[in-house]
Amino acid sequence: MMAYRIPMLLVVWALLLVGCGGSVVVTPSPTAVPPTLAVATAAPTATPALPTPEVAATPTLPPLPTDLPVPPTATVAPPATIAESRTAEGYHVLGDPEAPVTLEMFSDFL
Amino acid sequence: MLETEPQLIEQYIKTGTVKLVYRHLVQLGDRSLRLAEASECAADQGKFWPMRQAIYARYNQILFDTEQELAAAAADANVDLVQLNACLDAATHRAAVRADHDAATADGIRSRPVFRLGERTLIGAQPFNVFQDLIAQASGS
């Protein structure tokens, strides 16, 4: 019985040795890595392009007009309904020339 | 006067009780003369009173930057600046402004502003109630 088991153990040992040796040869193989890298680098090219040209296509504002009239302030001009005239000497008169009271103002602009 | 004049206009000039006569008294040198001439040049365009008011509205700056403020006042008063400058360059109204000034000084006016209402003369800016009293006396109201 013992003589029969020894060859069997040798066969099992041999099979284990072969099995372990095969795994050592296969797993560190560098040829298995490139496919995963290739997939990783190929991924960005597969994504759809962002619509960046739309930024450049943003419509520009039309130029502002440069000849806008300057609105006079309320204190600038006397009302248009007030008469303006001159005296016989050429002095400027504001108000009804026939107004009963004359107010003369002597002044300058400084 | 900037505060009093609108009240005078509203209460007495618009209602036909008072007429305001403006006389040039150019006492502060070339700039006074230039602004007075500018007002007369604006008058050639029918804008004496608007120009006068526009210049007054800039009184705190026009002493320091007369030309720029004068151009801005002309714009405010809708005065054509090209015509205004041509009129100023030609000194079209200089003699008339000086004659007005000379007549005022010959009449005893020595400072500004001075107001004359009938026989009464007011020297310096006055509050509105002073004018009210004098106008009431002059108009008999």
Task: Please indicate, yes or no, whether residues B65 and B113 belong to a single structural domain of this protein.
Answer: no
Q: Do B18 and A99 touch (CB under 8 A)?
A: yes
Task: Please tell me which of the candidates A76, A94, A110 has its beta carbon nearest to residue B19.
Answer: A94
CA distance B24 to chain A (A): 6
Task: Please indicate, yes or no, whether residues B7 and B52 belong to a single structural domain of this protein.
Answer: no
- Closest residue by Cα to residue B37 from B4, B74, B64, B6: B74
Provide ipTM, 2 decimals: 0.94
- Asked if residue B103 is part of any domain, the answer here is no
Task: Please indicate, yes or no, whether residues B44 and B90 belong to a single structural domain of this protein.
Answer: yes
Whether A103 and B17 have beta carbons less than 8 Å apart is answered as no
Inform me whether the C-beta atom of residue B31 falls under 8 Å from chain A C-beta atoms.
Answer: yes
Q: Do B19 and A102 touch (CB under 8 A)?
A: yes
Inform me whether the C-beta atom of residue B79 falls under 8 Å from chain A C-beta atoms.
Answer: no
Task: Please indicate, yes or no, whether residues B33 and B52 belong to a single structural domain of this protein.
Answer: yes
Task: Please indicate, yes or no, whether residues B46 and B90 belong to a single structural domain of this protein.
Answer: yes
CA distance A74 to chain B (A): 10
- Asked if residue B101 is part of any domain, the answer here is no
DSSP secondary structure string for all residues of B64-83: TSHHHHHHHHHHHTT--HHH
Task: Please indicate, yes or no, whether residues B55 and B18 belong to a single structural domain of this protein.
Answer: no
- Asked if residue B83 is part of any domain, the answer here is yes
Q: Give the 3-state secondary structure of chain A.
A: CHHHHHHHHHHHHHHHHHHHHHHHHHCCCHHHHHHHHHHHHHHHHHCCCCCCHHHHCCCCCCCCCCCCCCCCCCCCCCCCCCCEEECCCCCEEECCCCCCEEEEEEECCC
Residue whose token pair is 């720029």: B68
Task: Please indicate, yes or no, whether residues B47 and B72 belong to a single structural domain of this protein.
Answer: yes
pLDDT at A30 over 60: no
pTM: 0.67
Residue B62: which domain range?
29-95
Q: How far apart are CA B25 and CA B95, in angstroms?
A: 13
Task: Please indicate, yes or no, whether residues B69 and B86 belong to a single structural domain of this protein.
Answer: yes
In a 3-state reduction of DSSP, which class is residue B19? strand
Domain count, chain B: 2
In a 3-state reduction of DSSP, which class is residue B27? coil
Contacts of B115 in chain A (CB under 8 A): 103-106
**Nearest chain B alpha carbon to A72:** B76
Q: How far apart are CA A39 and CA A89, in angstroms?
A: 101
CA distance B22 to chain A (A): 5
Mean per-residue pLDDT for A1-8? Answer: 57
Task: Please indicate, yes or no, whether residues B84 and B117 belong to a single structural domain of this protein.
Answer: no
Q: Do A108 and B32 touch (CB under 8 A)?
A: yes
pLDDT digits (tens, 9 = 90+) for B80-136: 999 999 999 999 999 999 999 999 999 899 888 999 998 899 999 999 999 999 999
Task: Please indicate, yes or no, whether residues B128 and B113 belong to a single structural domain of this protein.
Answer: yes
Whether B115 and B25 have beta carbons less than 8 Å apart is answered as no
pLDDT at B79 over 60: yes
